[in-house]
């Protein structure tokens, strides 16, 4: 098992975490408020925050000696190794490309001088294509926009050859479209190349799309840890449960997270003339279709060779291979409306027949949990519509929403 | 030996002295400045003061102490004679050693400013990317502080050119050995031969002016911390979220 065991106790950094990250299961997400210690945790994992700093503090203030950094990966301990020997690479939110070099030189620098570059499992051309930075190569790195810098930074990290990549809000400057593409790139890389990712984010949606396991950190301590589906349910319903476990620390900062559902889509069919893609919600029922914006399948079918991407998304990243017939999407609960009849005289493209499995009152709103072929869908409706429709548990309704 | 020849000799000696001083000072100054920037101990102010001392000390004071230290009676002068067979006072090696000390702050201070302005962020990024320390320093840090390197070299060179009091104290006025331009100029003025003095003064003036002009021409930083105006105008992606 490729688990990363961490045992960190450091009063100076206000961090006390003893857990193991199940890296082999998939991408691990780290979630928490700003200032909760997420970034510090990553810095410690990457050996950029030394236990040694504790010694100077000890001398000065006479703190009790309770600093401990124990990081174990594949039966080896990395407690006080230098950052360059640590198998974890930290990629920060600020891209910090080397300002004296062009984009291409930034990438070549890593290949030339990194101790790990021999282990890089792919070529520089592949990485450039995946990250969609072909058109930036000759530019000086300081002339790039924030989003472009983050793309180049990801490319540089991938070329480094270290097996574990720690990403601290890596795509914060990119729009949602580009973000989802890069997140699915990470998932693909994790599966195909045995690369391990730990991703810090304050967006649960981002984590829903890529991670398998989530750690929730608050005030330097691990407050929750579990599979993504479980934890996202818990965290987005935090406010509804607040009466039950108001004493729990978790609820404090996360109740304002918008509720959303994560749906798995399969078997895409491109509707090029409408710039839409038709997906199936489940393999079994061919009638359950969902439309999404953009005709993405054409891209993977053409192997992305001539695709330079639309202006808005900068340059779209290509999927690693053609088998991208599966896609995760998020859907905000307040974008879903409910109807008792199958209403086809509407501009809403998506209408799904669903069963009501749960009804929760949250202040002046009602959160209705629906079951669509085993997948969970949330709809947030007003109290008025709820009483007008007189919805009951177990009833069948139609959930409607616009193309995603 | 004509005056013209001694003047040419003085010019050559000055350039040789300035070039050797700059090369040696860069070799000493780069590691020294790097270490002093990273060092955070209690003695830091003392080391900084020692490096900066030649800036404020009258050259004659420095020259006087060096004269005493270099004299064949002192232990240092003795040591030098046993090592090299020559005495330090009134020799080229003596004034070279003197200018190394005299020009040290002019090389080390721009380098320290460069290193501390750069901070350790890029070093940390490179370290995390798996680049070992020496390669980081040679292939990343030094290219990044190139403007400071140019400043340090130019200032060290220009300052050594104009050195007078110190050279006079420890080197005297020996043509071909220790008679640099500024001293030859002083010599001409004492002899009331103002024409020759004019020539030398003009050479020194031109040298200093040209080196400073080159410094300001090529010393353009390639990165700036303030590029917000660009990013805000361009590629503002509307969040489709």
Q: What is the pLDDT of residues A143-172, one digit of tens each?
A: 999 999 999 999 999 999 899 999 999 998
CA distance B174 to chain A (A): 47
A110: nearest CA in chain B? B129
Q: Give the pLDDT of residue B150.
A: 92
- pLDDT tens-place string over residues B78-106: 899 988 888 888 899 999 999 999 999 99
Find chain A residues with C-beta within 8 A of B230's C-beta: 143, 145
Q: Give the pLDDT of residue A342.
A: 80
Rounded percentage of chain A residues whose pLDDT exceeds 70: 81
- What is chain B's alpha carbon radius of gyration, rounded to the nearest angstrom? 23
Q: Give the pLDDT of residue A272.
A: 82
Instruction: Give the residue with greater pLDDT, B151 vs A307.
Output: B151
Measured over the CA atoms of residue A297, residue A302, residue A305 and residue A310, the dihedral's sign is negative
Q: Say whether pLDDT at A47 is over 50.
A: yes
Q: Say whether pLDDT at A305 is over 60.
A: no
Domain segments of chain A: what residues? 3-254, 260-401
Rounded percentage of chain A residues whose pLDDT exceeds 90: 20
| 3-class secondary structure, A347 | coil
CB-closest option in B128, B133, B139 to A89 = B128
Q: Give the pLDDT of residue B12.
A: 93
B122 touches A at CB < 8 Å: yes
| CA nearest neighbour of A107 among A162, A171, A157, A168 | A157
Q: Say whether pLDDT at A248 is over 50.
A: no
Find chain A residues with C-beta within 8 A of B237's C-beta: 147, 174-175, 178, 312-314
Q: Give the pLDDT of residue A303.
A: 36
| CA nearest neighbour of A226 among A218, A216, A236 | A216
Q: Say whether pLDDT at A58 is over 60.
A: no
Split at pLDDT 50, 70, 90, the class of A391 is: confident
| CA nearest neighbour of A162 among A125, A120, A122 | A120
Contact: A160, B130; criterion CB under 8 Å: yes
Contact A70, A15 (CB under 8 A): no
DSSP for A10-32, please give it: ETTTTEEEEEEEEGGGSEEEEE-
Q: Give the pLDDT of residue B229.
A: 37
* A3-254 shares its CATH topology with A260-401: no
| 3-class secondary structure, A123 | coil
Instruction: Give the residue with greater pLDDT, A241 vs B86.
Output: B86
Q: Give the pLDDT of residue B101.
A: 93
A115 touches B at CB < 8 Å: yes
Q: Say whether pLDDT at A302 is over 50.
A: no
Contact: B129, A147; criterion CB under 8 Å: no
What 8-state DSSP symbol labels residue A84? T
Q: Which of B128, B138, B225, B230 to mutate to test the interface with A (most CBs of A within 10 A)?
A: B128
Q: Say whether pLDDT at A235 is over 60.
A: yes
- pLDDT tens-place string over residues B114-150: 999 998 889 999 999 999 999 999 999 999 999 999 9
Question: What's the whole-number mean pLDDT along residues A282-304?
Answer: 58
Q: Give the pLDDT of residue A296.
A: 53
Superfamily of domain A3-254: P-loop containing nucleotide triphosphate hydrolases (3.40.50.300)
Bridge partner list, A329? A263
Give the phi and the psi of residue B126 in degrees, each rounded to 5.
-65, -40
CA distance B135 to chain A (A): 7
Q: Give the pLDDT of residue A255.
A: 52
Q: Which residue shows structure tokens 């303030």?
A: B226
A293: enclosing H helix or E strand: strand A289-293
Q: Say whether pLDDT at A331 is over 60.
A: yes
Q: Give the pLDDT of residue A124.
A: 93
Q: Give the pLDDT of residue B221.
A: 63
Give the residue ranges of chain B where pLDDT is below 70: 1-2, 220-241
Find chain A residues with C-beta within 8 A of B146's C-beta: 100
DSSP for A27-73, please give it: EEEEE--TTSSHHHHHHHHTT-S-THHHHHHHHHH---S--EEEEEE
A46 touches B at CB < 8 Å: yes
Topology at the third CATH level for domain B3-221: MetI-like fold (1.10.3720)
CB-closest option in B125, B132, B237 to A115 = B132
Contact: B237, A312; criterion CB under 8 Å: yes
| CA nearest neighbour of A152 among A99, A92, A91, A95 | A95
Contact: B122, A175; criterion CB under 8 Å: no
Q: Give the pLDDT of residue B228.
A: 38
Q: Whole-angstrom Cα distance, residue A176 to residue A313?
A: 9
Architecture of domain A260-401: Beta Barrel (2.40)
Contact: B132, A92; criterion CB under 8 Å: no
Indicate the length of chain A as a whole number. Answer: 404
DSSP for chain B, please give it: --HHHHHHHHHHHHHHHHHHHHHHHHHHHHHHHHHHHH--STTHHHHHHHHHHHHHS-HHHHHHHHHHHHSTTSHHHHHHHHHHSS-STTSHHHHHHHHHHHHHHHHHHHHHHHHHHH-SHHHHHHHHTT--HHHHIIIIIHHHTHHHHHHHHHHHHHHHHT--HHHHHHH---TTTT--HHHHHHHHHHTT-HHHHHHHHHHHHHHHHHHHHHHHHH---S--S--HHHHHHS--PPP--
B239 touches A at CB < 8 Å: yes
A148 touches B at CB < 8 Å: yes
Q: Which of B40, B129, B226 to mutate to test the interface with A (most CBs of A within 10 A)?
A: B129
CA distance A399 to chain B (A): 20
- pLDDT tens-place string over residues A201-227: 888 888 888 888 999 988 888 888 888
Q: Whole-angstrom Cα distance, residue A22 to residue A392?
A: 40
Q: Say whether pLDDT at A65 is over 60.
A: no
B75 touches A at CB < 8 Å: no
Q: Give the pLDDT of residue B226.
A: 40
Q: Give the pLDDT of residue A257.
A: 65
Q: Give the pLDDT of residue B160.
A: 92
């Amino acid at each position: 098992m490729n688990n990363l065991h961490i045992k960190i106790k450091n009063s100076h950094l206000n961090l006390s975490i003893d857990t193991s990250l199940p890296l082999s299961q998939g991408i691990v997400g780290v979630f928490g408020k700003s200032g909760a210690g997420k970034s510090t945790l990553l810095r410690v994992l990457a050996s950029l925050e030394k236990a040694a700093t504790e010694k100077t503090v000890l001398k000065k203030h006479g703190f009790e000696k309770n600093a401990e950094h124990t990081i174990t990966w594949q039966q080896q301990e990395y407690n006080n190794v230098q950052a360059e020997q640590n198998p974890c690479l930290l990629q920060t939110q600020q891209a910090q490309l080397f300002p004296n070099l062009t984009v291409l030189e930034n990438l070549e620098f890593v290949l030339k001088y990194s101790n790990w570059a021999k282990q890089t499992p792919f070529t520089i051309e592949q990485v450039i294509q995946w990250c969609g930075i072909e058109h930036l190569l000759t530019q000086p790195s300081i002339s790039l926009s924030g989003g472009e810098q983050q793309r180049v930074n990801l490319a540089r990290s991938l070329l480094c050859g270290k097996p574990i990549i720690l990403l601290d809000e890596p795509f914060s400057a990119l729009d949602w479209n580009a973000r989802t593409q890069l997140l699915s790139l990470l998932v693909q890389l994790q599966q195909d190349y045995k690369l391990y990712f730990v991703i810090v984010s304050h967006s649960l949606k981002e984590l829903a799309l890529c991670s398998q396991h989530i750690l929730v950190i608050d005030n330097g301590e691990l407050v929750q840890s579990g599979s993504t589906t479980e934890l996202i349910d818990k965290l987005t319903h935090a406010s509804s449960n607040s009466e039950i476990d108001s004493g729990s620390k978790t609820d404090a900062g996360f109740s304002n997270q918008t509720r959303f559902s994560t749906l798995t889509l399969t078997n895409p069919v491109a509707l090029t003339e409408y710039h839409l893609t038709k997906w199936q919600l489940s393999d079994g029922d061919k009638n359950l279709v969902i439309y999404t914006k953009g005709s993405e399948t054409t891209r993977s079918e053409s192997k992305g060779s001539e695709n330079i991407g639309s202006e808005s998304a900068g340059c779209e990243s290509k999927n690693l291979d053609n088998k991208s017939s599966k896609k995760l999407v998020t859907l905000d609960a307040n974008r879903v409306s409910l109807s008792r009849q199958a209403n086809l005289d509407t501009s809403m493209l998506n209408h799904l027949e669903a069963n009501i499995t749960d009804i929760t009152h949250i202040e002046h709103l009602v959160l209705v949990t629906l079951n669509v072929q085993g997948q969970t869908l949330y709809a947030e409706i007003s109290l008025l519509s709820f009483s007008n429709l007189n919805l009951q548990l177990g009833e069948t309704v139609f959930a409607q929403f616009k193309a995603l | 030996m004509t005056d013209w020849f001694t003047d040419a000799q003085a010019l050559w000696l000055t350039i040789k002295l300035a070039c050797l001083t700059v090369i040696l000072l860069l070799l000493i100054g780069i590691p020294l400045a790097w270490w002093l920037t990273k060092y955070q101990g209690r003695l830091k102010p003392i080391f900084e003061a020692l490096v900066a001392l030649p800036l404020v000390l009258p050259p004659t004071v420095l020259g006087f102490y060096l004269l005493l230290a270099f004299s064949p009676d002192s232990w240092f002068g003795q040591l030098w004679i046993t090592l090299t067979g020559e005495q330090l006072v009134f020799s080229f090696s003596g004034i070279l050693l003197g200018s190394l000390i005299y020009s040290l702050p002019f090389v080390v201070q721009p380098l320290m400013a460069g290193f501390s302005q750069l901070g350790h962020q890029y070093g940390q990024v490179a370290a995390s990317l798996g680049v070992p320390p020496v390669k980081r320093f040679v292939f990343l840090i030094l290219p990044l502080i190139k403007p400071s390197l140019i400043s340090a070299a130019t200032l060290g060179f220009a300052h050594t050119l104009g050195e007078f009091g110190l050279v006079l104290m420890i080197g005297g006025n020996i043509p071909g050995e220790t008679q640099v331009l500024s001293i030859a100029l002083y010599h001409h003025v004492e002899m009331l031969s103002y024409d020759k003095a004019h020539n030398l003064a003009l050479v020194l003036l031109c040298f200093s002016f040209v080196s400073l002009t080159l410094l300001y021409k090529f010393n353009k930083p390639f990165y700036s911390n303030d590029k917000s105006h660009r990013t805000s105008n361009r590629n503002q992606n509307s969040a489709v979220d």
